[in-house]
Amino acid sequence: MLSLQETLLLAAFLFSTGIFIILTRQNAIAILMGVELILNSVNINFVAFDRFLFDRIDGNIAAIINIMIAASEVAVALAIIISIFRSLRTVEADKLDSLKG
Amino acid sequence: MLVKILFYIISLGIAGLALFTAMSKNIVRSVFALLGVMIGVACIYGILGSAYLAVIQIMIYVGGIMVLFIFAVMFTSKIEDINITNRSYGWIQALIISLAIFVMFAFIILYYPFEKASMLEHQSVERIGKVISAEYLPFLIAIAVILLVSLVGAITIARPKKE
């Protein structure tokens, strides 16, 4: 039978891979992809705890709300990135330093 | 037992695709590997017994968010320098940090005494609907408003300005 620990280990692996992507990538869209991986791992954790430990359904609802927030976040962030690309012709995170004095 | 074998196969696929997303030189390949990760996570939800969440994941992540990602990648990178736009640096430090996080999490997960670890059979779509429309109604309304505002904001930001 499937146990809680295996599911949590999968989520932890996805989380650390997302951290790795955020730390290494230069493209802003790739950094957003790392954020998406982290959000997915958190959702897996919610569903697993709800499934294995508690006799309630709040974890599923938290995951649904999390998915909705991720959708709106990605829409706004990609719009900002496209707007930055239109004015600066680059999406590399190191070159977006025009606020630097 | 069959569930466990299926879970391990899907987990290995997800882990490999996530590593491919992290390592690939080509950002379009990276995006499609991330799409595979999303589909695999939907399968994990299915295995864990919440079919509604699997459907939501397929509809919103695979059908909406990844299409947005693919559009953004196509908009912001020219085809000829598509290999240059996915550069990465600082591998060693990032590897140390993420491995430290993973080892810490694994230590906590493997040594924390969880109370009972048996699968409960309670997550039906009907129950989710009842709970989300009775106890969680303010959250539902807030989510609807947030989605509306963020979509209008996204359209306003991304639209080219007319002079």
**Closest-CA distance of chain B to residue A35, Å:** 11
Query: Chain A residue with minimal CA distance to B71?
Result: A78
Residue B148's domain comprises 122-163
pTM: 0.89
Q: If you measure CA to CA, which chain A residue comes closest to B26?
A: A30
Which option is the CATH number for A4-91: 3.40.50.720, 1.10.10.10, 1.10.287.3510, 3.30.60.50? 1.10.287.3510
Model confidence pLDDT, tens digit, residues A4-57: 888 999 999 999 999 999 999 888 888 999 999 999 999 999 998 888 887 778
The answer as to whether B110 is a domain residue is: no
Instruction: Tell whether B43 lies on the interface with A, counting CB pairs under 8 A.
Output: no
The 10s digit of each residue's pLDDT in B34-75 is 999 999 999 999 998 888 899 999 999 899 899 989 888 888
Determine the residue of chain B that is closest to A3 in CA distance: B117
Sequence-distant (≥ 6) Cβ neighbours of residue A42 within 8 angstroms: A11, A15, A66
- B126-152 average pLDDT score: 89
Structural domain count of chain B: 2
Q: Do B154 and A76 touch (CB under 8 A)?
A: yes
User: Whole-angstrom Cα distance, residue A31 to residue A3?
Assistant: 32
State how far the Cα of A86 lies from the Cα of B23, in Å rounded to an integer: 27
pLDDT at residue number A86: 83
Query: Residues B83, B157: one domain?
Result: no
Whether residue B84 is contained in a domain is answered as yes
Q: Where are the domains of chain A?
A: 4-91
The interface predicted TM-score (ipTM) is 0.90
